[in-house]
Amino acid sequence: MRGLKVTNVKPHLAKKAWVLVDAEGQVLGRLASRLAGMLRGKHLPSFTPHADQGNVVVVVNVEKIRLTGNKLDQKFFKRYSGYPGGLKLIAYRELMAKRPERALRRAVWGMLPHSRMGRKQIRALKMYHGTTHPHVAQAPSAVKLEVRPL
């Protein structure tokens, strides 16, 4: 086993690529799992679990994300303030109408490590309504995510 050499990418030497993802017609959970993998860098051959070498992901058309089945009415977004009576339940139908980026961010955060590295990686997720975004100067490369029939 002399010929094998393992190289670990140093976190400060990793180059972050900018990626543009169109969320139109995508299912929330499937899109979130793909985005979490891109943010962590799992698609790279040099993936190292303890180093942040993922991409910066720009998501457009967030308002056109869809949920399958009866999740719009049966699934709830929960927030708890820590005080008695401080539980807030918001149906996903209302949440997707008002703040769809909050639903996507929560879904992606659930798939990232809950550590300092995960908090750093979730900051690399940028979400916007419509097709315009302010990151044109970074020249993000468009990534086509296929929509699989359910």
Q: How many residues does the chain have?
A: 150
Q: What's the CATH code of the domain at 114?
A: 3.90.1180.10
Q: What pLDDT was estimated at residue 45?
A: 84
Whether 119 is covered by a domain: the verdict is: yes
Q: What pLDDT was estimated at residue 124?
A: 97
| Confidence grade of residue 38 (pLDDT, cut at 50, 70, 90) | very high
86-123 pLDDT, tens digit each: 999 999 999 999 999 999 999 999 999 999 999 999 99
Q: What pLDDT was estimated at residue 10?
A: 75
More confident residue, 4 or 130: 130
Q: What pLDDT was estimated at residue 149?
A: 64
Whether 46 is covered by a domain: the verdict is: yes
Whether 5 is covered by a domain: the verdict is: no
Whether 29 is covered by a domain: the verdict is: yes
What percentage of the chain reaches a pLDDT higher than 70? 96
Give the DSSP letter string of 46-66: T--TTS----EEEEE-GGG-B
Residue range(s) defining the domain that contains residue 78: 16-143
Per-residue pLDDT at 142 exceeds 90: yes
What is the mean pLDDT of the segment spanning 59-88?
96
Whether 137 is covered by a domain: the verdict is: yes
Return the SS3 of 27.
Answer: strand
Per-residue pLDDT at 148 exceeds 90: no
Based on the structure, what is the number of domains in the chain? 1
Whether 149 is covered by a domain: the verdict is: no
Whether 135 is covered by a domain: the verdict is: yes
Q: What pLDDT was estimated at residue 70?
A: 96
Whether 8 is covered by a domain: the verdict is: no
Instruction: Assign 3-class secondary structure to 75-127.
Output: CEEEEECCCCCCEEEEEHHHHHHHCHHHHHHHHHHCCCCCCHHHHHHHCCEEE
Per-residue pLDDT at 14 exceeds 80: no
